[in-house]
Structure 1
Amino acid sequence: MLTAGQSGQTGVFLLPAPGLTAHCVDSSPAAFLKDQSSVCSRRLVLDQDCGSLPALSMDAYTSIRLLAGKNQEAAVVPLEVSSVVLRSTDNTETELKLSAGQTVRPSLTEPTLCANVVLKVVYEIRFGPAGELLKASLSLVLGFVREAALPLQQDFQVSYLQEDAGEAVVRHSGNPGYVVGMPLVSGTKTAEGISRSLDPADWLSVPLSSEDQDCLRPSPRRSPLLFGLDSASGCTLRLEDAANCSLVSRLLLDVLRGPRRPPFVASFGNSAVENPLDWVPIKSSFLLEDTPSCSIPVSLHLEIRWTKYGSLVNPQAQIVSVTEVVQTNSSSLLQAPGGGSLQPISSSVSFIPVSAAAQPGYRATPTIDAKLPFDFFLPFV
């Protein structure tokens, strides 16, 4: 893929990757129509490189201008920054609200601590039937780097999605078993089998923590559930907003579950929609009822159990059960612990392996049924 420079010259779209060693090679070109994922490391002198090394700043990745085709006269495809997440020193993540063109640059907050360093870069590029680029988006994860934790590890990913006016392209999360870091495949059961939506808003997801932490803010951003990665997030409910308890309870449940959460999860990453027996239902005993006392959901936890299936040499990840646990506050909200005016609401997901210890199997030793003539050992016997 070609890129356009500020002065009109063309270049190649680069995606850092490890070379002969684990160190990042910034001059590594990204292949077209080939999803790539790499993790590489950088050796830094923190007090010198924190604010001066381009690879640590988000500007190096947001300033890329892709060309729609192979010619220099091709149109420039704008790169949209879809999300910027800040990971704190205790590994909690908060989405940053940045206006168009606004950036966050690395800086030394302490002599041995560099803030706002790029930890993860994810490109998503959409192309048309003729191979021309239509849209490009970028997601970034920024964080803190301590001198004691050097060398720095960075994660780079690029994925390609085809947009077609005809039949939509269905992406799988494994073949057949799930791949760590891929979204959980979910759907709704119908008379013909399983109906699977291609809209990310209809996937299993968790709410992302925001700066204002308000549970009832309109259209909270969500992140899809990724296989094998535990997650936790939360928000707060202002008690003055809980006057209509039944309405707030339904709104909070939609925030925790998602507005259109599908009730089934594929047991494998490529489970066919024609085989409903390959899909696992989400078990939940929670039922929202109108009661005289104010009872709202204060936490939701998804427990996903999976096992290794198949060959001992190449086992495949299979989901065996998904259980939802919802806890409610059955007491009066006005009597919250400590007399505060905020009620914390939390959402979490855990993946629990339930595989038995793998043991190789051996066939029984074959028996030898030899029939010899009666004088075979003559004249020795």
Structure 2
Amino acid sequence: MAELHLIGTIASARDFRQSRLFSKWSFSTGNGWKIINGCSEGQTQECCDPYSNEPVWDHPVDLHFTTKTLQGSPKALLQVFCRDDFNKILFVSYGVCSIPLKPGFHSIECHTWKPIGDWQDRLKDKFLGTTLQLKSPDVLVNADDRFELLTESMGIVRIDLHVLAKNFDKFGFTIQAGFCDINCCCDSDCTEHDSKVFSRCIDREIDKEKDSWYCHEKPFFRHNETRFIFKKIVDSLFCIASDNLPPMYSASSDLQIEDKSSFKNIISNNKPSSFKWKLDKKNISFQNFNVSSQYHYGDILWTINKNSLQPFDLPQSGFGKMCDFKKAVRFLEDWTSSCYQSNLTNNNIYLFPSNFINFTIIATPSKFNSQYIVQDCPKAVCQSINVFICSGSLIVCNANETVKTTCSENICYNAVKKIVYVIQHNGSEGIKSIDVHFRLANVSNSFKQEFEVRYKWINANESLIIERSGNPGYIAGKPIFVGTQLLNKTNDMEIKYIAFNKIYKYLTLPMAYKSGICSETERYPVKFLENIKLKCSIVVETSNFSTSTCVKLQNRTIEALTSFMTFKNFEQTNFDRQFVSKSGNISDNNTKSWTKIFFEKSPQNIISARITESEIQCSGLVTSVIFDIVHSLISKPGSDKNHVILGVQVAFSQGVDLKWPKCIGKNCTDILQLDVVSFVSFHDVSKPTRYHIAGGPNLDISLPYDFFYPFLSHSRSNGTTLKFKLIHIYITLCFIFKALLRIT
């Protein structure tokens, strides 16, 4: 689990027209994030600076988060207030800004704004100070919803933060084998039919500069499921419909590494590379209920409740901790939240399980008919909810159990403590079933109510989870796949292929427990473009020290360094069978798609032992290993982040002599401890990207036979007609000349 620690201040404000300001602040996170220490909301003191009009708050912020995902990273939500000349507190503006995940110091300038309405609202704001305010914080959290607001820019709030991050390199895209991952356009499990439910491509970025001279923007979108047409005509009479310019390539991946000597020549002049994370920006649009198509990712789910069509929403907290607002449940978006219920009366419908189940959810909008609101909706179109009453950690549950909830004198019996919706879907086919799990409890004071929404593919096997490395080619921060070469003999024919083992699937390194001892169960997967050094200790205890003890220590060391391989006997023939996937495609078992791992200085079990009066010694022990990985950009137009691995070399250290103090006394135990060190270094051999400009095409321009009629005709013409003819010729020649300049 990754951790994020934010230490800093809500520092100051500037460019506000008001002088006496204070701010209410809070930090909002998405699914999978949890605050384990610190206060996520607060209020600064009121401050006034009559000279520079830049009040300084320096209000402390100290928060500690844990997370299972990069999505829904923390955002700072601000409400700025002022005190007028009549000692009245007035609302000034809102502000929202994302918190960077990169470790280090960040000075964030949060631009604030306020909603504005019609001319009457503006007059009230001008003379009475009654500024419009939002009813729900959803508009602040979701940037797409704010496009529907008419706002006015206000001042800037500065936030100074020190960001500490831990284990964030362990998170990235994951893929379920045999099932389509939503919005992952490069997932080979996704069919054209599945991709109809996508709202964006989280694995595709277009960084190319747009040229307004083209009739359309390139590259084309593979699917256009929005109401917008991706075509832009320039503000000119002419535009370029097509050209003969070759695409931009980086052809360095054609480099072949055949043996150890060529590997050494390549890495000798290459230094380790560095990289920066790029976070995908969420781009989900708010839309109303649409019966013309199926649900897309991010669409609001709709219900039929009491003969009316309503969004499916659940309680959530606003700037405080109470359940004052509602959250619309969106298709394929997992969600987790909590808030506090204080109204312990029968009037609070959110204390009763019936409020969360007495409706049906529209499963397939494209089949929905408005008549279904007042009559029975077919099961293929609307899904009812399966109820489970659970105890403890929602493991032991009873189906369709009816429990009566009552409240009296600020005490409620069997009130809803936690709700978990499990929605099974089939992608573009819509929702197939809905289960809700309740955990009930007797409450007498304000209590915490928890909500969770999970989406699952129908009939999905959750055990088949493999982290993606990129497609096509590796991307920064993703694991490296390894495989073993096998030989298949049939009818006197030998066929070599690569077998991918789901147990030993990644290139891994030994990692330590908190005590420093090498873990026997957990290993650290090497991340692409991550230069790293790891160290842990191997411990062997013996009461009868001999050469076999040193051999045992050596075998355990080599096993720790090479546990990514599928064999346990360290023979040279087995070392020669280890391969790494070039582009991260594990479904291709062709040997041409994998590159061999070259082992330099393979370890030998030539170990000797020596005993003196006060020391014991093992000679020829291997204690470290170095991984050199050569890579380059993939030979693909428009790609600047996908790489292929050209070669991997593993070099073991020279044998060293280690000594330990000898145990003195009867029946004592000698403890042999050896430090194992692993190094990984990446070498980028990509060729510089160059633009190849094609020569200008030949132009074959023909004019109508009577184009120069005024000059060739012997007939007399008046001056006005001749003047218009000359203007016509001049304009035409200008357009032709402009086109020639653009092409050449």
TM-score of the superposed pair, with normalisation by structure 2: 0.29
Match of 2:191 in 1: none
Cα distance, 1:214 vs structure 2: 2.2
Determine the C-alpha separation between the residues in 2 that align with 1:27 and 1:369.
58
What is the 5 A alignment of 1:76-95?
A: none
* Displacement after TM superposition at 1:174 (Å): 1.4
Query: In the alignment, which residue of structure 1 is the partner of 2:516?
Result: 213
Distance 1:285 1:369 in 2: 64
Residue of structure 1 in register with 2:623 after alignment? 298
Report which stretch shifted further, 177-186 or 359-368.
Answer: 359-368
Give yes or no for the alignment of 1:194 onto 2:498: yes
> By how many angstroms is 1:23 displaced?
3.6
- 2:681 is matched with 350
CA distance in 2, matches of 1:257, 1:16: 37
Match for residue 254 of structure 1 among 551, 556, 559: 559
Q: What is the alpha-carbon distance in structure 2 between the residues aligned to residue 189 and residue 162 of structure 1?
A: 35
Q: Does 1:287 align with 2:602?
A: yes
Q: Which amino acid aligns with 2:680?
A: V
3-state SS, counterpart of residue 208 of structure 1: strand
What is the alpha-carbon distance in structure 1 between the residues aligned to residue 672 and residue 74 of structure 2?
50
What SS is found at the alignment partner of 1:280? strand
Is it true that 1:176 corresponds to 2:472 in the alignment? Answer: yes
Whether the aligned pair in 2 keeps the contact of 1:178 and 1:268 (CA below 8 Å) is yes
Instruction: Give the deviation of 1:198 after TM superposition.
Output: 2.2
| Worse-superposed segment, 233-242 or 256-265 | 233-242
1:289: how far off?
A: 2.3
* Alpha-carbon distance in structure 1 between the residues aligned to 2:556 and 2:475: 33
Distance 1:284 1:128, change over 3 A: farther
- Alpha-carbon separation, structure 2, partners of 1:268 and 1:71: 44
Across the aligned residues of Structure 1 and Structure 2, the Cα RMSD in angstroms comes to: 5.2
Query: What is the SS of the residue equivalent to 2:470?
Result: coil
Mapped contact 2:472–2:583 kept (Cα < 8 A): yes
Q: CA deviation at 1:63?
A: 10
Map of 1:325 onto structure 2: 651
Q: In structure 2, what is the Cα distance between the partners aligned to 1:314 and 1:358?
A: 11
Q: SS where residue 250 of structure 1 aligns?
A: helix
2:692 corresponds to which letter in structure 1? G
Q: Distance in 2 between matches of 1:226 and 1:190?
A: 26
* Alignment-derived partner of residue 228 in structure 1: 529
AA aligned to 1:297 is V
1:211 is displaced (CA, Å) by: 1.4
Say which SS state the counterpart of residue 328 (structure 1) adopts.
coil
| Equivalent residue runs for 1:1-381 within 5 Å | 16-17=72-73, 21-23=97-99, 34=182, 71=385, 73-74=387-388, 172-191=468-487, 193-199=497-503, 201-215=504-518, 219-238=520-539, 244-258=549-563, 260-261=565-566, 263-270=578-585, 272-291=587-606, 293=608, 294-311=619-636, 313-315=638-640, 316-334=642-660, 342-364=673-695
- 8 Å CA contact retained: 2:538, 2:673: yes
Q: How far has the Cα of 1:344 moved from its partner?
A: 2.4
Distance of aligned partners of 1:159 and 1:267 in 2 relative to their CA distance in 1, 3 Å threshold: farther
Structure 1 gaps of 5+ residues are 4-12, 41-52, 55-60, 80-124, 134-157, 371-381
For 2:514, the aligned partner's letter is E
Rounded to whole Å, the distance in 2 between the matches of 1:281 and 1:208 is 25
Say which SS state the counterpart of residue 529 (structure 2) adopts. Answer: coil
Report which structure shows greater RCO (CA 8 Å, sep ≥6).
Answer: 1
Question: % of aligned pairs identical?
Answer: 17
Distance 2:461 2:657 in 1: 53
Task: Tell me the distance in 2 between the aligned counterparts of 1:74 and 1:238.
Answer: 50
How far the C-alpha of 1:212 sits from its partner, in A, is 1.6
Q: Which moved more, 1:202-211 or 1:258-267?
A: 258-267
CA contact (8 A) 2:506 2:564 kept: no
Amino acid in structure 1 at the alignment position of 2:98: A
Offset at 1:231? 2.3
Structure 2 unaligned spans of 5+: 1-29, 33-67, 76-95, 101-137, 143-179, 185-201, 203-277, 282-319, 322-334, 339-382, 395-421, 435-453, 488-494, 567-576, 609-618, 662-670, 702-744
**What is the deviation of 1:71?**
4.7
1:197, 1:203 within 8 Å by CA — same for their partners in 2? no
Q: Structure 1 counterpart of 2:657, which letter?
A: S
**Please, which moves more after superposition, 177-186 or 255-264?**
255-264
Q: Could you tell me which amino acid in structure 1 is paired with residue 559 of structure 2?
A: D
How far apart are residue 274 of structure 1 and its match? 3.4
Answer with 1 or 2: which has the greater Rg: 2
Structure-2 residue corresponding to 1:45:
none
Taking the aligned partners of 1:166 and 1:78, their CA distance within structure 2 comes to: 19
Matches of 2:686 and 2:678, distance apart in 1:
26
* 1:207/1:220 contact within 8 Å kept: no
Aligned partners of 1:18 and 1:38 also within 8 Å:
no
Contact kept in structure 2, 1:172 and 1:185, CA below 8 Å: no
